[in-house]
Amino acid sequence: MTHATTTAAATAADDTAVPEPARVTVIGTGYLGATHAACLAELGYDVLGLDTDPAKIADLAAGRLPFYEPGLAELVERHTAAGRLRFTTDPAEAAAFADLHFVCVGTPQRRDSMAADTSHVEAAVAALVPHLRGDALLVGKSTVPVGTAGGLQALADRFAPAGVEVGVAWNPEFLREGRAVEDTLRPDRIVVGVTDPRHEKALRELYAPVVDAGVPFLVTDLATSELVKVAANAFLATKISFANAIAELCDAAGGDVVALTDAIGHDARIGHQFLSAGLGFGGGCLPKDIRALMARAGELGVDEALTFLREVDAINMRRRSRTVALAVEECGGSVLGRRVAVLGAAFKPGTDDVRDSPALNVAAQLQLQGAHVRVHDPRANATAARTFPTLGYADTVEEAVAGADLVLHLTEWQEFRDLDPAALEPARRVVVDGRNALDADRWAAAGWRVRALGRPAVGPASVPVRQDSAPSS
């Protein structure tokens, strides 16, 4: 196999090091694929992105990003303008362009079970392989159930033209939304699962600019590489839900979960990361990945090994209902007719992604109970409005909060942490901090009553309606 990789691709800043950039294709140009394609171009490669969505391809070809990710739009714009990054809907063009192809399509949760839907991955391989005219390597980056790579190898063998050898390797992604460019160009580690030394060599050469900077390059078998990402996400989800389980105990006992998790986080064996109690996790990865891992364990006959993940999932979902209950409690037992301001729509700061957003879930639950909800998010208002069009949306924090009977802080954007609570003009100065991220003492000093998950209330015991405020109905 002659894979189009080279150690000469030192950095994008030194284009002269790559007189004839090696070619790579990226199949799937969603969040993962667009990021990977742009970052490979930044490393000095000629990259062709392939997708079945003509509108998405047109946007990307014009240098426009259909979602928000810090720093990525600039990479896409720069490298499309330079001609180093191109896009197509034609699998034959992609097959002719390179002999190393990354598969970056989505694997959503199936509608009828907790399992991951791998049909898009299979379709991508079936569409590309028949057009190959020389030996090629398919490198999966999508998060898939263990055993998928072996099935794709069989699929590739079935569709490959006579005399063409197609290999399959796996290279899981570890992107954090809001830091995806950094995580691609300067990752914690690179993991590759291979069955052939030639595949390892090709990927070592491809990632040489990153590995030469000191990033560990870990080589495993296919099954291990498929399990690494979901195992990491399951561990992180467990750590988050542990903190939230302790928050439930603190609520019952009168403890302060923030002080508690800070204390145990100083233990080097535990650490502070992912130990913050609050509204819980959401997004397109952690929830579906732990469910898919449980489903795959059941298929393999070892479901008892991961039954604890059911409670991890349940604890996470209880955080949402607990936040709703706090809101109802602070409105005197009913939110019917009350104005509620929701600060945050994205599942986390630094993105406009609202997939399985805890913030929007809480907002929708309150609306179903009769509240008049206004949402503000620095980045995600538009994407949220497409998903939850019946909610109200405000262009500014001040507009969302004006005349509100209750304010909920549900996505921990820095803009919200930096707010001057004295300058806001709600009907009642009551805030439910679903992320335990606000300075409760500062808000209390401004006359606010602050409620949070796993912490005692701070501020006045009761807050009257301001006489100069807007009416609450």
**Residues tagged active-site:** 285
Determine the Cα–Cα distance for residues 145 and 125; give it in Å rounded to an integer: 16
SS (H, E, C) 178-192: CCHHHHHHCCCCEEE
Amino acid at 430: V
Which residues of 111-198 form beta strands (DSSP E)? 136-140, 166-170, 190-193
Can you state the angle between helices 72-82 and 31-42, rounded to 10 degrees? 60
DSSP SS3 for 7: coil
CA distance 114 to 291: 5
Q: Which of 351, 420, 416 is nearest to 379 (CA)?
A: 351
Q: Give how far the C-alpha of residue 142 lies from the chain's centroid of Cα atoms, to the nearest Å.
A: 13
- Neighbour tally for 263: CB within 10 Å: 11
Distance of CA 91 to the CA centre of its chain: 28
Amino acid occupying residue 79: H
Lookup result for tokens 């595949």:
199
Q: Which two tokens stand for residue 248?
A: 């439930």
Asked if 441 and 256 count as a contact pair (C-beta separation under 8 A), the reply is: no
The alpha-carbon radius of gyration of the chain (Å, integer) is: 25
How open is the CA angle 287-116-181, to the nearest 5 degrees? 60
Measured CA distances, 106 to 31, 32, 109, 399, 471 (Å): 9, 8, 10, 37, 46
Q: Kindly give, in sequence order, each residue whose CB lies less than 8 Å from that of residue 400, ignoring residues fewer than 6 positions away.
A: 341, 342, 343, 374, 375, 376, 394
Q: How far apart are CA 152 and CA 410, in angstroms?
A: 41
Residue 26 burial by Cβ neighbours in a 10 Å radius (0-12, 13-18, 19+):
buried
What whole-number distance in Å separates Cα of residue 327 and Cα of residue 333? 9
Give the torsion sign (CA, 404, 465, 413, 239). negative
Measure the CA dihedral 298/301/302/303, to 10°: 30
Token pair recorded at residue 336:
């019917």
**Which amino acid is located at 76 in the chain?**
V
